[in-house]
C-alpha cells in the first residue's frame, strides 16, 4: 500500500520525478481513440454561458470553499453533455485510501447509493485557491502523484492515467503511462484546459477511462446439492499474487475480502479452504476467518491493511511467532512467510498472517516448492528450490528475513534471480549483525524462545 505523503514530502517527490513537458496534442493522440488536435471540442454553450455569467476572480474566490462551489456548478453544466458520466464533489469523502479529491469523475452506473470506489474512478480534478503567481506549488503537483500512484494500483489493467488541477485561472494536467513508467505534464489557461478536460471525457479517452472488472459472479452454496449464482460488486483492489487477485467487497453488509484464484489447477481453492478450516478448528488466532467459497473464489474476514514500519510493533512479532508455533504443532507449514503476507486488522491492532494457498498439512513425503524464493530458507535454497520435506525451520528462516525487511524497508531485495544470489544477499545482510545472526541460529534450532 502506498504511504500518503505530507506536503513537504510531496514537494520533494515532485522535484525528484522526471516529467516530459507536453502539449494539448499529446493527450489527443496518445490513445486508442486517436483524437487529433483539430478535434479539440469547443466548450458547450451552457458551459460558456455559466463562465461568462459567474466569472471566477481573485476578489471573489479566495477560499477553497468558494472555488469548490464554482467548479461544482460548472461540472453540473458539463455533466449534461457527457454520456452517462457524472462529476461528484468528494472533497470531504476519503474514498481514495483516505485521500479526498475535490471532484471525482465516474460512470453514472458506478455510483451506487452514494458509494465512491477507487476501482472505477475515471479521473480527478483537484482544486486550489487562486494565487498571485503563475502555476502551482510543487506540493500541489505532488498531491497528483499520490492520486496517480493509488489509481495505478487500484486499476491494474489500465495503461494511461491523467489527473487535473485548477485554481480558476490556470489548468494543469499530469499524466502517467504504466507501460513506459513515464510522467508528463501540461500547463495552460483555464479555458483551454477545460476544453481538453471536456473533450477527453466526452470522447472516452484512455487517459480518463477506468478499465477492469466491476463485479464478479459467485456460486453461493445453500447446501451440498443446491447453489445459486449471485453478482458481487468489487469495491477495492487490495493486491495481486502469482495465483490470485484480492478485492474488498461487502458480504452480509460487512466489509469482506474475496480472493479470486487464477491458478488453472482446480484443487488450489479446495486445498486453501481445507487449511483455513483446519486452522479454525485448531483455534489458531491471527488468521483470516473463512466465510464461504466456490470453485475459484474464497470469501474471508477481515479487511486488513498491509503492515509497514510505522505500524509494526513488538507485539506483532510475538503474534507472528505464536502463529508459527501453533501451526507447526498441528503440523501445518505456511511456506510463504514474507512482508506482503503480514497484514494488520486495524479494528483490533492485531497482526494477520494471510495467503495460505501454499500451506501444507502433515506432509508424509517430499513436496514441490511453493512460495517466494527471496524469503526461502537455506535448506530450500541449497536444494535449488527442488522437492523437499517442509520443516518448522523453513518458516522460521522466512520469519527472520521478513522481520528484517519490515524494520528496514529500504533494504528490500530486488532482482535476485538465482538461489546463489539470494543466499549471498542474506549472508551479507544478516551474518555480520549479531542480533540477526543469533535469530538465524535460533531458527536453525527451531528455538522460538
DSSP 8-state code for residue 331 = T
Joined grid coordinates for residue 221 = 452454496
Q: Contact 216/251 with Cβ under 8 angstroms? A: no
Helix (H) or strand (E) holding 75: helix 64-79
Q: Count other C-beta atoms under 10 Å from residue 314's C-beta.
A: 7
Which residues in 258-276 are b (16+ Cβ under 10 Å) and which e? bbbbeeeeeebbebbbebb
**Which of 391, 397, 374, 378 lies closest to 443 in space, CA to CA?**
397
Binding site residues for ATP, as ranges?
259
Binding site residues, as ranges?
259
Instruction: Give the chain's radius of gyration (CA, Å).
Output: 25
Task: Give the list of residues 6+ apart from residue 103 with CB closer than 8 angstroms, or none.
Answer: 71, 72, 75, 87, 88, 89, 90, 91, 124, 125, 126, 127
Beta strands in 129-205 (DSSP E): 160-166, 170-177, 182-189
Q: Count other C-beta atoms under 10 Å from residue 79's C-beta.
A: 16
What's CA 419's distance to the chain center, in Å?
29
Amino acid at each position: 500500500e502506498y504511504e500518503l505523503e505530507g506536503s513537504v514530502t510531496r514537494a520533494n517527490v515532485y522535484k525528484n520525478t522526471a516529467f516530459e513537458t507536453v502539449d494539448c496534442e499529446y493527450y489527443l493522440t496518445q490513445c486508442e481513440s486517436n483524437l487529433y488536435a483539430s478535434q479539440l471540442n469547443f466548450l458547450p454553450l451552457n458551459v460558456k454561458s455559466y463562465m461568462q455569467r459567474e466569472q471566477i476572480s481573485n476578489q471573489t474566490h479566495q477560499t477553497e470553499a468558494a472555488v469548490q462551489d464554482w467548479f461544482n456548478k460548472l461540472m453540473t453544466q458539463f455533466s449534461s453533455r457527457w454520456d452517462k458520466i457524472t462529476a461528484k464533489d468528494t472533497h470531504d469523502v476519503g474514498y481514495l485510501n483516505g485521500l479526498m479529491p475535490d471532484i471525482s469523475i465516474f460512470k453514472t452506473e458506478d455510483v451506487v447509493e452514494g458509494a465512491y470506489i477507487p476501482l472505477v474512478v475515471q479521473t480527478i480534478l483537484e482544486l486550489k485557491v487562486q494565487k498571485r503567481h503563475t502555476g502551482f506549488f510543487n506540493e500541489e503537483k505532488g498531491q497528483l502523484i499520490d492520486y496517480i500512484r493509488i489509481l495505478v494500483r487500484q486499476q491494474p489493467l489500465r495503461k494511461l492515467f491523467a489527473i487535473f488541477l485548477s485554481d480558476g485561472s490556470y489548468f494543469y494536467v499530469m499524466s502517467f503511462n504504466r507501460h513506459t513508467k513515464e510522467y508528463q505534464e501540461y500547463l495552460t489557461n483555464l479555458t483551454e484546459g477545460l476544453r481538453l478536460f471536456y473533450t477527453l471525457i466526452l470522447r472516452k479517452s484512455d487517459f480518463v477511462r477506468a478499465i477492469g472488472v466491476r463485479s464478479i459472479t459467485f456460486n453461493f452454496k445453500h447446501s451440498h446439492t443446491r447453489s445459486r449464482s449471485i453478482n458481487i460488486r468489487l469495491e477495492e483492489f487490495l493486491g495481486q499474487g502469482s495465483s490470485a487477485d484480492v478485492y474488498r467487497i461487502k458480504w452480509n453488509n460487512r466489509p469482506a475480502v474475496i480472493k479470486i484464484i487464477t491458478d488453472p489447477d482446480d484443487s488450489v481453492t479446495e486445498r486453501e479452504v481445507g487449511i483455513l478450516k483446519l486452522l479454525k478448528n485448531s483455534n489458531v488466532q491471527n488468521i483470516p476467518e473463512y466465510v464461504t467459497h466456490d470453485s475459484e473464489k474464497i470469501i474471508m474476514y477481515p479487511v486488513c491493511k498491509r503492515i509497514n514500519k510505522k505500524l509494526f510493533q513488538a507485539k506483532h512479532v510475538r503474534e507472528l511467532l505464536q502463529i508459527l508455533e501453533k501451526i507447526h504443532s498441528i503440523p501445518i507449514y505456511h511456506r510463504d512467510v514474507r512482508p506482503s503476507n503480514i497484514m494488520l486488522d486495524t479494528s483490533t491492532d492485531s497482526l494477520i498472517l494471510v495467503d495460505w494457498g501454499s500451506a501444507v498439512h502433515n506432509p508424509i513425503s517430499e513436496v514441490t516448492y511453493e512460495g517466494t524464493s527471496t524469503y526461502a530458507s537455506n535448506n530450500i535454497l541449497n536444494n535449488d528450490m527442488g522437492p523437499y520435506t517442509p520443516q518448522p525451520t523453513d518458516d522460521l528462516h522466512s520469519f527472520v528475513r521478513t522481520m528484517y525487511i519490515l524494520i528496514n524497508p529500504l533494504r528490500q531485495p530486488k532482482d535476485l534471480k538465482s538461489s546463489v544470489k539470494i543466499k549471498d544477499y542474506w549472508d551479507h545482510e544478516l551474518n555480520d549483525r549479531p542480533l540477526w545472526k543469533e535469530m538465524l541460529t535460533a531458527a536453525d534450532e527451531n528455538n522460538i524462545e
